Structure 1
Amino acid sequence: LPVMLISGFLGAGKTTLLRHLLSNTEGVRCAIIVNDMAELNIDAALLKNARLVQATQAQEELVELSNGCICCTLRGDLLREVTRLAKSRAFDYLLIESTGVSEPMQVAETFTLDVDDGSQAELKDMATLDTCVTVVDAAQLMANFESLQTLKQRDPDIADEDDRNVADLMLDQIEFADVILLNKARDFDAAELARLEALLHSLNTEAKVIATKEGAVAPKAIMGTGRFSLEKAETAPGWLKAMREGESATPETEEYGIGSFVYRARRPFHPGRLHSFFTSYFTLQQPQPDLDESDSEGGMHGMHLTVTTQGFMWLAGRDDMMGDWSQAGGTLRVGPAGPWFAAVPEEAWPDDERARAGIRKDFEGDAGDRRQELVFIGIDIKREMLTEELNRCLM
């Protein structure tokens, strides 16, 4: 049974897309699983209303999974429902709408789990993840990237312990997609749309980007594509490609001032100078000059918009511990990422010789694999100014 996973932030237009697809099934027998965090499943009610006008309503089934999230508390329920629908052989295609705060990778991983029915079967033997679609609200895209809000501030139904932020979640949803629908594009001219499309291409180098109005898209453009590959999805983020291949701007992204570059250095950052850099360009929630978990919120004022920064950092005084630098929109997180391999005895390295060779490739002189390697993706980034500022932070 081929499956489409539909993700997208709150209000992006996921339900509108589903209603459009149900109105244009072209004879395909569709089952639908919807997930809503709230007890009152408004999305499900809207879909039921949409089905009332369908002549083929007997060919469709709507399954509601509520009071939880299918990427965590309801993962087992999702597994059982997909298994049941696949075994029934009554449907040609399954549409799954995840909640607006779900991370699509966690839902996709459900398809690698064992089916808990005593058969020792795996879900992937009965259902195939065909396409991961992320719906993005064109009008809110940049505002959400620049937002300092947590998900809890946007949706009171979010658990109190969930400290994720809006920009991080949006980036996760965009990076994992096979198809990105740039929805609500009606009020944008061609140049504005092209700039947003170029930005999405830079964040996800593999996804197909389609501009839509009110979720209206040809079903064949997103159903039955066979585009999903977990291996490909894990390497699709633009920052990973930039780190592997070096910075590059394709002509269509360069035209709109969108690009990436990789900052590299083989000296550690001075803790005090790095802290000054953070306080100059970010508003710190928990200003700490070491690698304890801390959040830095704000934007790179004066550097223009850096949508995302990902990579590794080397901090003086913490020479055995790799630092993880992760920024999405207005939020920067810095924390420990595990030891550098230079600080680990070789007998504790992976046994696979190819893996060991890859580790050695990162070694250079006395520093071993300790380094600064940060990928910046954004709009009109002042590369020389940013490089100079980071160089000043080095020992």
Structure 2
Amino acid sequence: MLVTLITGFLGSGKTTLLRRLLREVGPLRLGVIVNDMSPLEVDGDLIREGKRVSEAAGTLVSLASGSISGSQQQAFEHALDAWAGRTDLDHVIIETSGSAHPWPLVEAISRRAAYTLGQLVTLLDARTMTEDYEAGRGLMDRLARHEKHGQRGLENLLAEQIQWASTLLLTKTDRVTPSDVDSLQECLGKLNPEAAVHRVSHGQISPSLLLGGASYDLHRAQEMARVRWGDALAGVGEAAAYDLGSSVVCDARPLHPQRLWDLFHHQLGVGIHRSKGFLWMASRDEQVLLWNQAGGGLSLELLAYWKAALVKDPLGKLLPEEIAHLEQQLSALDPRFGDRLNEITVIGTQQHREYFVGQLQTCFCTEAEIQHWQQGGRFQDPWPQALKARG
């Protein structure tokens, strides 16, 4: 069974790419393993939403609460073993968490005769690479300093995700200058001259380039691992080795739109590499919003509508029995908020993460503000009024 391994640092666009592949791949019989570092399965939920694969059909495994190259590696290998005898699958796509190191995964796949690794695809966010690593030049400098002092850091993980790849996808290139993209490609050429490099926008790439019959160069990967670590591989796949961790904020209270805006624009520390999840704001209480932050970039998208808003049938399109069914579902939930719930995972260094989560807590409405909301009061809302609907 052919395998495509999709990796890349936090927020590089892996789930966007996977969702597009699942829509466009045609009749290929696919199995998908998706990995979330956080206990909150944001990526898993987005893949389920597409309905191309599912746990019920035996075509989806979602592994959360740790990286599949680290604390969830045993669960990952168990999933591989469970699918090894399948005759109803043509291809397996594996989407790693952003904190995953590719080598333990390559090794696990190569030990199983049922699987052949075709492509190891690494995505890189051109905007983050430009802003945080001077279009690759800063990354090379930091790598040199680590080597000089015998240290490892986050830059080593990012560089090794690049070096182990057979294909590199540069995402969000429309958000940087052409000269920055050229500098970034020059850096990639130095780190991995063997990989094919493609510039990608919104996950748009021919599925055949990633799911075709190519064969990954396992010998090259083994040689890189031997030279780099010998037998001292322990810990290389653990997120904690790079001071990466996750925190989950779960709260039913509405978020105050102005305070949330101020938090993102004025208090987002450099150690917050990723935050994502589902939220609602007091100013637009009918909307399920998808929060998606990577580095200094953020997207806020309209994902769906809360049942607590739909039950009021604002468009007059629901049948009485449909309204009754919604009312029954909501009857056991919070009498003020219904099914509305904020679930946000924050990934980054411990120090920055603790500070950011503490400040995020102050963005929830106070009791006085909740009463104001219940009475139909208005809230200052600087976010774009017309949000892109999630496709």
Which structure has more RCO (C-alpha within 8 Å, separation ≥ 6)? 2
Q: TM-score, normalised on structure 2?
A: 0.50
